[in-house]
Structure 1
Amino acid sequence: MRHTEIGGRKVSALCLGAMKFGSQTDDATSAAILDRFIAAGGTFVDTADCYQYWVEGFEGHESETFLGRWRRANGITDEVVIATKIGAQPTVPGGGPYDQEGLSAEVVATAAERSRRRLGVDRIDLLYTHKEDPHTPLEETMAALSRLVDEDTVSLLGMSNHRTWRLERARAAAGDHGHRPTVLQYRYSYLQPRHEVRLESPAFTHVTPELLDYVRAENAAGRDLTLVAYTPLLSGAYVRPERAAALGPAYDHPGTRNRLAALDEVARETGATRNQVVLAWLIAGGVVPLVGVSGVDQLDEAVEAVDLTLTPEQRRLLDEAH
């Protein structure tokens, strides 16, 4: 499997999402997926401290807890980078988005420590702020995160689901402490939504052209910044008509049809699936796709895409379809 770098650390070019592990995906299946991923050369796994509080019967720490058990059972140490996120866990049982902990200095310290203990690590490899906290000054949050790096309980910092102006302000504040976030996590795929239309879930924050321009500018200036894309396969919408219909009005525009036609042409030329072409397109653009799978067969399809190389003509065809 091909690899890339985040914050100077080498990781697989494909990230495995563990959101449902320990909850909707049973332990045996979760372990089988992880084992297959590692055997294929995967070294990058993603979770959060709130996965999956919204599913009946679960509280929000199940994924981290499962990954901690899996690490201990398999003797996993520094060879696998595990990223987690804080700030979106409800403060009350049965709570929702309006009851989330946020990103105060106190929450950053306590939430990170809870995650570290669940994962069973001395140092969290990569810690994201899960979503914006409009009630806490960015300077307070970034100072608290920087303290974790100084204390050697967190290695790398990241941010997820923040508007670009807040991201820039946060990275500027963090620079005062010497520890800028180096990884971003947003929703991104080949099909592009109309940004003025709400996505099917208010929890999603999609990449905008402005954000892509910001990432390019930061990297050109030598301030390394990596984009990790969640929901890159749009929850099966590329291959399942009922999932495509569920995308809603944001994707109901001529660009979707034009891009699907280009996608199908490249799939025919390469002999790959639509999903594989999408993942290869993201990787070719310097993006790390974060895939969530429910079985080993889905994982194998994603892993094979990492070694799919698109020609310049194929990339141009995909890029220019609007």
Structure 2
Amino acid sequence: MASIPTLETEIFPLNLGGNTFGWTSDRVGSEAVLDAFVTAGGNFIDTADSYSAWVPGNRGGESEEIIGDWMAARGNRDDLVIATKVGALQGRKGLAPDNVRAAVDDSLRRLRTDRIDLYYAHYDDTERPIEEIAATFDALVRDGRIRAIGMSNITPERMRAWLDAAAAEGLTAPVALQPEYNLVARHRYETGYAPIAASAGLAVFPYYALASGFLSGKYRTPEDLQRSVRGRRAEGHLNADGLGVVDALVAVAEEHGVAPATVALAWLLAKGVTAPIASARTTQQLPDLVAAAALTLTQEQVAALDKASAPFA
């Protein structure tokens, strides 16, 4: 098990992504995935107020509503750690104080809860002074609407400034970082964000942990991409370097008798991340994700994956 600084609850070392809920998973399918995740020992769920506004006919907030209704029906809110985000939803974009306060209340209503365990600034709002943003999120902690603060899609410079402002003003500091990080997207995190996470003691929850499914090994040809709604998001990885990483994943997976996706997530855990974020469209996809928590790669296997993914470092 892992933990988030300042939160007493231990978390399962896989963060279930809620981006598929209301998109590639309908309500019934989403609830089945959530049930299966909890049954497997999971307790940490990630969503955002903007999920899944990109789907024709959706307005955003669908994922939060599905999770909220599911928690209410199961009566399991106190057993879970819920993370959501502000800043990307049309009509609630940006981090102006009034907007953030309204957005958190909207999320609380959709999630049918009285507090959010981890609340992220989904994207930066460079028109706002970082000191103002720090004060806005601190106030949410102090009034009990959120328990901890996270940062995502913010430059390393602005992240450091937020941490410095919180220290200088005695404000609640962010304790979590949600960066893009995986075997085919290493450089930006390892050179820019990892040093901040290490120096500030931040929990790290990478998104695109499987590179939109590419690291599951199911996309090897352009035709493969056409078979999945999400396939086009992996198109940029379909090249010699990317396929070299997949080959290395398959080799390690065969040594353990597990799926390539399991190895890709286990590599992130071996790199010291707290819990990678991965989503499952169906319950059949979930076991390969959950299995990463119990898989320990050898030093030689980590080194082989590092070498295969060196073009992305």
TM-score bracket for the superposition, by shorter chain length:
0.7 to 0.9
Which residue in 1 is equivalent to 2:292? Answer: 305
SS of residue paired to 2:101: helix
Please state if 1:135 is matched with 2:121: no
Which residue in 2 is equivalent to 1:278? Answer: 264
Task: Judge conservation of contact 1:105–1:144 (CA < 8 Å) in 2.
Answer: yes
Please state if 1:51 is matched with 2:51: yes
C-alpha distance in 1 between matches for 2:56 and 2:247 = 39
Please state if 1:124 is matched with 2:116: yes
C-alpha distance in 2 between matches for 1:251 and 1:173 = 42
Q: What TM-score results when the alignment is normalised by the length of structure 2?
A: 0.88
- How far is the alpha carbon of 1:226 from its aligned partner? 1.2
Instruction: Provide structure 2 residue ranges, at least 5 long, that are not aligned to the other structure.
Output: 226-230
Shift of the 145–246 alpha-carbon distance from structure 1 to 2, 3 Å rule, reads: closer
Task: Judge conservation of contact 2:135–2:171 (CA < 8 Å) in 1.
Answer: no
Instruction: Provide structure 1 residue ranges, at least 5 long, that are not aligned to the other structure.
Output: 92-99, 196-205
Shift of the 210–253 alpha-carbon distance from structure 1 to 2, 3 Å rule, reads: farther
Which residue in 2 is equivalent to 1:89? Answer: 89
Compare the two structures and name the one with the higher strand fraction.
Answer: 1
Task: Judge conservation of contact 2:47–2:64 (CA < 8 Å) in 1.
Answer: yes
SS of residue paired to 1:85: strand
Which residue in 2 is equivalent to 1:233? Answer: 210
Task: Judge conservation of contact 1:124–1:154 (CA < 8 Å) in 2.
Answer: yes
Q: Residue 180 of structure 1 is aligned with which of 173, 183, 197? A: 173
Task: Judge conservation of contact 1:143–1:177 (CA < 8 Å) in 2.
Answer: no
- How far is the alpha carbon of 1:251 from its aligned partner? 6.9
What is the total number of aligned residue pairs between the two structures? 295
C-alpha distance in 2 between matches for 1:60 and 1:186 = 22
C-alpha distance in 1 between matches for 2:117 and 2:232 = 37
- How far is the alpha carbon of 1:247 from its aligned partner? 3.8
SS of residue paired to 1:124: coil
Q: Percent identity?
A: 36
Counterpart AA for 2:174: P
- How far is the alpha carbon of 1:173 from its aligned partner? 1.4
C-alpha distance in 2 between matches for 1:246 and 1:8 = 35
Counterpart AA for 1:224: G
Q: Residue 155 of structure 2 is aligned with which of 159, 163, 169? A: 163
Q: What TM-score results when the alignment is normalised by the length of structure 1?
A: 0.85
Task: Judge conservation of contact 2:209–2:277 (CA < 8 Å) in 1.
Answer: yes
- Once the two structures are overlaid, the 10-residue window that deviates more, 79-88 or 175-184, is 175-184
SS of residue paired to 1:207: helix
Task: Judge conservation of contact 1:215–1:226 (CA < 8 Å) in 2.
Answer: yes
Task: Judge conservation of contact 2:36–2:283 (CA < 8 Å) in 1.
Answer: yes
C-alpha distance in 1 between matches for 2:78 and 2:237 = 41
Shift of the 137–126 alpha-carbon distance from structure 1 to 2, 3 Å rule, reads: same
Can you list the C-alpha shifts for 1:102-146, whole angstroms capped at 9, x where unaligned? 001111111111111211222111100000112111111110100
Counterpart AA for 2:68: G
Instruction: Describe how 1:75-114 pairs up with structure 2 within 5 A.
Output: 75-91=75-91, 101-114=93-106
Please state if 1:269 is matched with 2:255: yes
Can you list the C-alpha shifts for 1:67-86, whole angstroms capped at 9, x where unaligned? 11111100012210010000
- How far is the alpha carbon of 1:230 from its aligned partner? 1.1
Task: Judge conservation of contact 1:14–1:291 (CA < 8 Å) in 2.
Answer: yes
- If asked which structure has higher relative contact order (CA below 8 Å, sep 6+), I would say 2
C-alpha distance in 2 between matches for 1:154 and 1:80 = 14
Please state if 1:190 is matched with 2:167: no
SS of residue paired to 1:51: coil
- How far is the alpha carbon of 1:279 from its aligned partner? 0.7
**Regions of 4+ moved over 6 Å:** none
C-alpha distance in 2 between matches for 1:228 and 1:248 = 23
Q: Residue 260 of structure 1 is aligned with which of 246, 251, 265? A: 246
Task: Judge conservation of contact 1:22–1:65 (CA < 8 Å) in 2.
Answer: no
Counterpart AA for 1:186: P
Task: Judge conservation of contact 1:21–1:63 (CA < 8 Å) in 2.
Answer: yes
C-alpha distance in 2 between matches for 1:264 and 1:38 = 28
Please state if 1:26 is matched with 2:31: no
Task: Judge conservation of contact 1:267–1:277 (CA < 8 Å) in 2.
Answer: yes
SS of residue paired to 1:235: coil
Counterpart AA for 1:308: L
- How far is the alpha carbon of 1:258 from its aligned partner? 4.5
- How far is the alpha carbon of 1:257 from its aligned partner? 4.9
C-alpha distance in 2 between matches for 1:274 and 1:245 = 20
- How far is the alpha carbon of 1:250 from its aligned partner? 6.7
Counterpart AA for 1:7: P
Shift of the 61–260 alpha-carbon distance from structure 1 to 2, 3 Å rule, reads: closer
Q: Residue 139 of structure 2 is aligned with which of 144, 147, 157? A: 147
C-alpha distance in 1 between matches for 2:18 and 2:146 = 20
